[in-house]
Structure 1
Amino acid sequence: MLKIAEANPWSRRLEDNSIEINNMPAEEVLPSLPSKAYDKVLHDPPRFALAGELYSQNFYAELYRVLRAGGMLFHYTGAPKSRRGLDIQAGIIKRLKSAGFEILRVIKGYAILARKVS
């Protein structure tokens, strides 16, 4: 992922020393991050079949924990299995709400925007 970012002109700011890059699996680094420390989280996981832990209730609870009150989560979802009539976003929305998130916007087959309420 970092090699791809190097080639992307929009990712040049990643070279800024004020940006900390943790090149580890998210489910491993997230529990070590401080609570209420981040304003925004961009979550762009692989497909559910490849990384189900990144769609779990525990993972969403950790995302909620690290966000400040009013913090925003942009969760890219894509539309896997939509041709078979499965709605992966419905399950994600249910788990995000259970973690405490307020769902602000759902872009069908693309993403969910949520906010930490308190």
Structure 2
Amino acid sequence: MTEYLTNYMKYIQDRLEKCSDSAELDEIMAEHMDKIAFMQHERIVHFLVTMMFALILAIFIAVLVFTSNIPVLLLVTMILVLLLFYIKHYYFLENTVQKMYRVYDGILEKQKKLKESRK
């Protein structure tokens, strides 16, 4: 997903820089709105999974505190590592979706400028 989003952001920026036609800009806007919707869904799913892992980690830490069991310590360590990777990925998704919002604003601005130049 990281590579996909990175490539998409480069693609959309290149396409925006080369675009000077209002119809093409409308097409770019429609495509970008679809991508934003997909990534918002992806972001919500990853948020829920991250919170689930955080809850599971808290439960197992509580079990570890009360039992001092070595296998539980191993399980806590594994869940903690997984949670760190989920947080890293969620952070990337969150920041990229916010960049997508800024690109959306840029598209709106470019549409406004094209409409003003035709007057």
Q: Taking structure 1 as the reference length, what is the TM-score of the superposition?
A: 0.31
Structure number with larger C-alpha Rg: 2
Question: Which structure carries more relative contact order (alpha carbon 8 Å, separation 6+)?
Answer: 2
Q: Which has the higher strand share?
A: 1
